[in-house]
Amino acid sequence: MPTIKVDETRCKGCELCAAACARKCITMSTTFSATGYYPAVCCAPDRCTGCGLCYQVCPDLAITVFKEEKK
């Protein structure tokens, strides 16, 4: 299943990824990160298609996108 990984030490909680996600898979955490922001989290991994739009808009390169390897 495609998924994203958010680097909490890089994320500044700007919410651009949450707005860019066409399938609304990203929401903001309700707890602070170590750097004092509410980082993005993938709230619905089952909906994620690995399209990478969140990666495109992230100003801090905090998001890495993973897809399953083709068999």
Partner 1 sequence: MLQVTKRPESLLDVKMHYCPGCGHGVAHRLVAEAMDELGIRERTVGVAPVGCAVFADHYFNCDMIQGPHGRGPAIATGIKRSRPGCVVFSYQGDGDLASIGMAETIHSAARSENITIIFINNAIYGMTGGQMAPTTLVGQKATTCPTGRDPRVNGYPIRVCELLAQIEGAKYLERTSVHTAANVLKAKKAVKKAFQCQLEGRGFSLVEIVSTCPTNMGLSPLDACKFVQEKMLPQYPLGVFKDIEGGKHDASRN
Give the binding site for partner 1 (CB under 8 A).
3, 9-10, 12-16, 19-20, 37, 50, 52-53, 55-61, 63-69
Structure tokens at 36: 């004092």
Asked if 40 and 19 touch (Cβ cutoff 8 Å), the reply is: no
Q: CB of residue 25 vs partner 1: minimum separation in angstroms?
A: 14
The three-state secondary structure class of 6 is: strand
What's the residue count for the chain?
71
Q: CB of residue 66 vs partner 1: minimum separation in angstroms?
A: 4
- Cβ closer to partner 1: 29 or 64? 64
